[in-house]
Chain A
Amino acid sequence: MKPAPFRYFAASSLDHALSLKAEHGDEARFLAGGQSLIPAMNFRLARPAVLIDINGLAELAGIDRTRENEIRIGAVTRYRALERDGDFLKACPLFADALPQIAHPQIRNRGTIGGNLSHADPASELPAVALAMRARMRMKSARGEREVAASEFFVGLLTTAVETDEMLTEIILPVPAPGSGSCFMEIARRRGDFALAGVAGVITLDEERRCAAVRLALCGVGDTPVDASAAAASLVGQPCTDKAIDDVTAAVRDMIAPSGSVHASAAYQRHVAGVLVGRALKTALKRIGHAA
């Protein structure tokens, strides 16, 4: 399982990378962690004629916490760096839950957040986390730069809003509100496998401990991550009783259209997505008031 031939460039700067991409268009792919791209190339399912290696672009890696309400992560930041940054994990607890579920440490030592989100595997954890957190994606090209909300970013199966000459350079995460609780959970056949269903939930309570806001996103149950926050709308303004959460569970089950796979029937995916919604929301609630 050897890859088909390609030309390789180690980009010396972001501008260099972008100009190469502009030149070669769809024939070129950016090589970041390579943990999704290289297996696809080894299977010859992907055959880029040009690989632009961006691992050397230090300016694209790192976690920027200088702003008050948001955290900016360079696209070439490896999962390894994220999972070792205690302050980051505390600020973004969904990542604390999700990162250990991504494949295995050997993969996380190379894979990057930008590569993950650009690849947009529907069963992947971080797209759902990005949706739940209302992340914004910054893209750059030789033509300029722009930002796209997560809700607009995941366009279709393995397809994002990133244009042919663009690179995802930064992920902007609004910091969850104080007094909110988060939880990400997934069901997979084995630890580290792609999720059969995964749920990212963020719930905020008001002073009377009624739900003030709720964000809910799922992975593994559609061609793209699914924003199911609307299905949880019934919770807003209510005390978060078991019954209220069950209603959200039922609404989410009605809303999603999983397609099934060799690992699970669509009916099972639908069922277990609901189980996870209930469990994730309850766990998120328990965590409120425990964070510093």
Chain B
Amino acid sequence: MTARYFGAAVRRNEDSRLLTGQALFIDDVELPGMLHAAFLRSQVAHARIRKIDVSKALRRPGVIAVYTAADLGAYWQAGPLLVPAPPIPGLIFNPRMQVPLAKDKVRHAGEPLAVVVAESRYIAEDALDDLLVDLDELPVVVELEPALATDAALVHDDVASNVASHAHQTKGDYRSAAAKAALVLKRRFHYEHGISSPIETRGVVAQWDARARHMTIWDTTQAPVFVRNGLAAILGLGERQVRVIAPFVGGGFGPKIMMFYPEEVTLPWIAMRLNRPVKWIEDRFEHFFATTHERGQIHDAEIALDRDGRILGVKDVFLHDTGAYNPYGLTVPLNSQCTLLGPYVIPAYDSTFTAVFTNLPIVTPYRGAGRQHGVFVIERLLDLAAHELKIDPTEIRRRNLIPPDAFPYRNEIIYQDFQPLEYDSGNYEPVLDKVLAAIGYDRFVRHEQPSLRAQGRCVGIGVACYVEGTGIGPYEGAKVQVQSNGKVSVATGVGTQGQGHFTSFAQIVADALGVDVRDVDIVTGDTDQFYWGAGTFASRGAVVAGNAVSAASQAVRNKALKLAAEAFECSEQDLVVADGKVSITGIPEKFIRLGELAQRANPMRGAVTPGTEPGLESTQYFGPAKGATANGVHAAVIEVDPETFDLKILKYVVVHDCGTVINPMILEGQIHGGVAQGIGNAFFEKLSFDEQGQLLNASLADYLLPTALDVPRMELDHTVTPSPLNPLGVKGAGEAGAIPVGAVFAQAIEDALQLKRRKVELNEIPLSPSRLFDLIRKGDT
């Protein structure tokens, strides 16, 4: 089998529809008789609900119905726990899930209180103003440390405190490591990761066919299969009575895999109740409250090193803001806890976190999913140690990298896949070397920077390393079928939000079956076409679904060879599969087209050999034993204006290792996009809540996404250390770009402004020109 497509920068199959405005996104769904929903959302962050008076809204022309929690009756229930507790000894876990419409109590600003259904969204919004809500406001918890005070208001009255979870994990013995250390450094770090803010917000369209007793739901979800299964159960329907379609989705980045959002649960119920299709499209203002955030952590971390800068141990105690509910379990803080270990040998690790309920929107994974928090802590600790020990910051990292012969590398503590953390493969030092060469590190530090400083310019360099756990289970599946016309149809359960699945998966199939990549049609995200699998998240699409696609393609190839061998009465070894045909090697005129083979394999009459399957089709699954660990290094040269503290990124380099690469063009796009979000996280995006839990900057005018002027041209390179955990050797790459950017910025800005001399440390993210000014002014006084 020749790899004509695998590894090549194949242009995308999905582009022409997207470029010509023909791709179907959720708000493009138009159904006869369709109604429109708008949700009344709480204006306050914490309150008891006394009464909601809907009578005026019901009298408004064009309003069909208004529902509150009471109307949902037995249908009203808290959402399921999406991620159960990992098997960590001594874990405290208080799962509390979101509800379809608030009943009794409101726990964050923006929580839905009621839903209006009307002839148009315009009228539905008018009717929201008609609703009279009587709330008894309660004290609000926003900050993490005050939320844990004994007299703090409780977000959940049935939990003794605002502790959502508490987990302590250790590896080795930190105390004795610290006792032997030449240097122990301790610092507090604040890391805030904002919101995903894809350009398309969320949406749900539900259509109930009462005669067929079938529900169709269009949903901007990254997990159509589990949404289907869960909604079927909630609705009291069989799974096959529900079809969930994730159409083209305008960006996911994590929060669209949060499931059983209030709107997802409510819309199908409304459709059944009214027997009319109903649509809800989240507007941008709603998105700031209604779609999940990632937000922040406070770390009190210490590192113990020997005099050569080798890490003897790390201890970290941190608080994590989980928001008003925690349906996603411990995933985000667990990722922080595990990813802090990075690509380094850390013999002793003592890490404790407390996830805290706050009266703020729910926190679930957003690109990086807590990894950036952990990476920031370890990278900053290493920078501080490098300064104290007078070791170059890249050298101290080099000395601590896990050597290439130490894999699989056991980090022992429990990871988000509930297994002890283990890195499958890696070769870290060459990645660091490539980055340093690409950024011109030595030349910069020795010659360019002194020369720039002599000109009065403040230019600095930052280098940060990270690992990224990817490709976790449980599994994905794919069905591959050769059709009579010779084109190949593929269905898989993951959804697509721009990652290029329509192309990367097609490349795998095209190589296996010897067809043109453009003749492979991929269906993702339609549970009528494929209803097994977990979804697109945690950088697992290429790894898990890709391997399932590969297995199914191979199975189909084998069937084709077997059939052709029987037809030609020759051995399978004598056959070649190429150009949509199976032919005898060396005798190209003896061929059968794949389409014809498929037809022959599906006779209308006669008998078949017992045990055969019809057609050229196969469904295969892939579930990795563990996740595959990718890694990378970023470096940046940043210039800071010493008067305004605005900055310009002069150079940005990423070297990444995600194992075998299916499509380098798509991979680069993922890195570009991740870095852009990382830049937003590091320097532009900050959710500003006041003490009442009100978001002060709930608009794109004030929540600042980076533009084409804020994201530099990046230089990318990669190394390939295949994963031994899957046949293709791939590792995930979706989140890598976003993970270390905060650490890179902090290091480079400190260097540019020579802040260590001024005793100013940048131990927080996000930064901004104003924040830099304030920190430096504070440091100077």
Q: Does chain A touch chain B in the assembled complex, meaning CB atoms less than 8 Å apart?
A: yes
Q: Say yes or no: is B285 at the interface (Cβ < 8 Å to chain A).
A: yes
B710 at the interface (CB under 8 A from A): yes
Residues of B within 8 A of A194 (CB): 701
Residue of A1, A44, A265 near B770 (CB, 8 A) is A265
User: Given contacts A1-B285, A43-B285, A267-B774, are A187 and B696 in contact (CB under 8 A)?
Assistant: no
Q: How far is the CA of A101 from the CA of B524 in the complex (A)?
A: 43
Q: Quick one: closest A residue to B121, CB to CB? A: A2
Given contacts A187-B646, A190-B684, contact A263 B283 (CB under 8 A): no
Contact mask for chain A residues 235-253; partner B; CB cutoff 8 A; 1 contact, 0 none: 0000000000000000000
Q: Which residues of B contact A262 (CB under 8 A)?
A: 686, 688, 696-697, 702
Shortest distance from the beta carbon of A195 to any chain B beta carbon, whole Å? 12
* Interface presence of B122 (CB below 8 A): yes
Residue-wise interface mask of B (740-781) relative to A, using a CB-CB cutoff of 8 A (1 in contact, 0 not): 000000000000000000000000000011100110010000
B126 at the binding interface (Cβ < 8 Å): yes
Is A275 an interface position by the 8 A CB rule? yes
A4 touches B (CB below 8 Å): yes
A-B contact pairs, 8 of them (CB 8 A): A2-B121, A5-B122, A187-B644, A187-B769, A189-B768, A190-B704, A262-B686, A262-B688
A265 to B776, CA, bound (A): 13
B125 in the interface (beta carbon within 8 A)? yes
Query: Which residues of chain A (1-44) have a CB below 8 Å from chain B?
Result: 1-5, 43-44
The yes or no answer to A210 lying at the interface (CB within 8 A) is no
Interface residue? B707 (CB, 8 A): yes
Chain A residues in 8 Å Cβ range of B643: 272, 275
Which residues 219-269 of A have a CB within 8 angstroms of B? 262-265, 267-269
Residue ID in chain A nearest B703 by CB atoms = A262
Nearest CB of A to B457, in Å: 16
Number of CB contacts from chain A to chain B under 8 A: 66
**Can you name the residue of chain B whose Cβ is closest to the Cβ of A192?**
B707
Q: Which residues of B (682-721) have their CB < 8 Å from a CB of A?
A: 684, 686, 688, 696-697, 699, 701-702, 704, 706-707, 709-710
Chain A residues whose C-beta falls within 8 Å of the C-beta of B710 in the assembled complex: 190
B168 CB–A CB distance under 8 Å:
no
Q: Identify which of A43, A44, A262 gathers the most chain B CB atoms within 10 Å of its CB.
A: A262
Instruction: Flag if A5 contacts B126 (CB, 8 Å).
Output: yes
Q: Tell me if B284 is interfacial: C-beta within 8 Å of chain A.
A: yes
A268 to B121, CA, bound (A): 42
Residue of B with least CB distance to A271: B773
Alpha-carbon gap, A2 to B773, bound state (A): 39
Complex Cα spacing A44 to B125, Å: 10
Given A190-B706, A269-B770, list of 8 further CB < 8 A pairs? A187-B646, A190-B684, A196-B770, A262-B702, A265-B774, A268-B769, A272-B644, A272-B773
Beta-carbon nearest neighbor of A196 in chain B: B770
In the assembled complex, the CB of B130 is this many whole angstroms from the nearest CB of chain A, namely: 12
CB distance from A244 to the nearest CB of B (A): 19
**Binary CB contact string for chain A from 55 to 80 against chain B (1 if under 8 A, 0 otherwise):** 00000000000000000000000000
- Min CB gap A163→B, angstroms: 29
Contact partner of A1 (CB less than 8 A), chosen from B126, B283, B709, is B283
User: Which residue in B283, B709, B777 is a CB contact (below 8 Å) of A191?
Assistant: B709
The answer to whether A267 touches B688, judged by C-beta atoms less than 8 angstroms apart, is: no
Question: Which residues of chain B are near A147, meaning CB under 8 Å?
Answer: none
Would you give the 0/1 interface string for A182-223, flagging 1 where the beta carbon is closer than 8 Å to chain B? 000001011101101000000000000000000000000000
Q: Using Cβ atoms and an 8 Å threshold, which residues of chain A touch B777?
A: 267
> Which residues of chain B are near A44, meaning CB under 8 Å?
125
The CA of A271 and the CA of B770, in the complex, are separated in Å by 10
A51 to chain B, nearest CB (A): 15
- B→A interface (CB under 8 Å): 121-122, 125-126, 129, 283-285, 643-646, 684, 686, 688, 696-697, 699, 701-702, 704, 706-707, 709-710, 768-770, 773-774, 777
Q: A190: which B residues are within 8 A, CB to CB?
A: 684, 704, 706-707, 709-710
Q: What chain A residues lie within 8 Å of B707 (beta carbons)?
A: 190-191
CB closest chain-B residue, reference A264: B770
Distance (whole angstroms) from the CB of A106 to the closest CB of chain B:
13
Contacts of A191 in B (CB 8 A): 707, 709
A191-B648 Cα distance, complex, nearest whole Å: 13
Chain B hits for A193, CB < 8 A: 701, 704
C-alpha spacing A115/B777, complex, angstroms: 39
Chain A interface residues (CB < 8 Å from chain B): 1-5, 43-44, 187, 189-191, 193-194, 196, 262-265, 267-269, 271-272, 275
Interface centre among A190, A193, A267 (most CB of B within 10 A): A190
Instruction: Write the chain B residue with the least CB distance to A197.
Output: B644
CA distance A196 to B704 in the complex (A): 14
Q: Is the interface of B mostly helix, strand, loop or mixed?
A: loop
Q: Which 6 A-B pairs have the closest CB atoms?
A: A268-B770, A264-B770, A262-B688, A2-B122, A1-B283, A275-B643
User: Chain B residue with minimal CB distance to A274?
Assistant: B643
Cα-based distance from A148 to B643 in the complex (angstroms) = 37
A262 to chain B, nearest CB (A): 4
In the bound complex, what is the Cα–Cα distance between A56 and B282 (angstroms)?
34
Shortest Cβ distance from B765 into chain A, in angstroms?
16
- Tell me the bound Cα distance from A201 to B768 in angstroms: 27
CB-CB under 8 A for A263 and B646, given A190-B707, A193-B704:
no
Q: How far is the CB of A54 from chain B (nearest CB, A)?
A: 24
Taken together as a complex, chains A and B put the C-alpha atoms of A269 and B697 apart, in Å, by 18
Chain B: minimal CB distance from A269 (Å): 8
Chain A residues near B688: list those with CB within 8 A.
262
Q: What is the CA–CA distance of A5 and B125 in the complex, to the nearest angstrom? A: 10
Decide: A268 and B697 in contact? CB cutoff 8 A: no
Query: What is the bound-complex CA distance between A271 and B642, given in angstroms?
Result: 12
With a cutoff of 8 Å between Cβ atoms, the chain B residues found around residue A189 in the complex are 684, 704, 768-769
Within the complex, the shortest CB–CB distance from A1 to chain B, in Å, comes to 4
Chain A, Cβ-Cβ closest to B710 = A190
Q: Which single residue of chain A is at the shortest CB-CB distance from B709?
A: A191
Considering the complex, give the chain B residue whose CB is closest to the CB of A194: B701
Report the bound CA distance from A252 to B773 in whole Å.
19
**In whole angstroms, how far apart are the Cα atoms of A5 and B646 in the complex?**
43
Q: Are A275 and B644 in contact (CB under 8 A)?
A: yes
CA distance A189 to B768 in the complex (A): 9
Tell me the smallest distance from the CB of B610 to a CB of chain A, in Å: 63
Chain A residues near B285: list those with CB within 8 A.
Answer: 1, 43
Contact A1:B773 (CB < 8 A) given known A187-B644, A189-B768, A262-B686 = no
Q: What is the chain A residue whose CB lies nearest that of B696?
A: A262
Q: Which residues of B contact A2 (CB under 8 A)?
A: 121-122, 125
Contact partners of A4 in chain B: CB under 8 A? 125-126, 129
**B684 touching A267 by the CB < 8 A rule?**
no
Bound CA span A268–B643, Å: 10
Q: Are A264 and B126 in contact (CB under 8 A)?
A: no
On whether the beta carbons of B704 and A267 are closer than 8 Å, the reply is no
The residue in chain B whose Cβ has the minimal distance to the Cβ of A1 is B283
Closest residue of B by beta carbon distance from A3: B122
Is B773 within 8 A of A267, CB to CB? yes
Instruction: For the complex, give the distance between the alpha carbons of A180 and B521 in Å.
Output: 67
Question: Across the interface, which residues of A come within 8 angstroms of B696, CB to CB?
Answer: 262
**Candidates B646, B699, B773; contact of A265 at CB < 8 Å:** B773
A31 to B696, CA, bound (A): 28
A187–B769 CA distance with the chains assembled, in angstroms: 10
In the assembled complex, which residues on chain A have CB atoms less than 8 Å from the CB atom of B774? Answer: 265, 267-268
- In the bound complex, do residue B644 and residue A263 qualify as a contact, i.e. CB atoms below 8 Å apart? no
Q: What is the CA–CA distance of A238 and B489 in the complex, to the nearest angstrom?
A: 81
* B697 cross-chain contacts in A, Cβ below 8 A: 262
Residue of A nearest to B773 (CB): A268
Contacts of B770 in A (CB 8 A): 196, 263-265, 268-269
Q: Which residue of B lies closest to A272 (CB)?
A: B644
CB distance from A282 to the nearest CB of B (A): 13
- Interchain CA distance A190-B647 in the complex, whole Å: 11
Question: Inside 8 A of B684's CB, which chain A residues have their CB?
Answer: 189-190
Nearest-neighbour CB distance to chain A for B640, whole angstroms, equals 13
CB distance from A38 to the nearest CB of B (A): 13
CA A43 to CA B125, docked complex, whole Å: 11
> B644: which A residues are within 8 A, CB to CB?
187, 272, 275
CA–CA, A275 and B643, complex, Å: 7
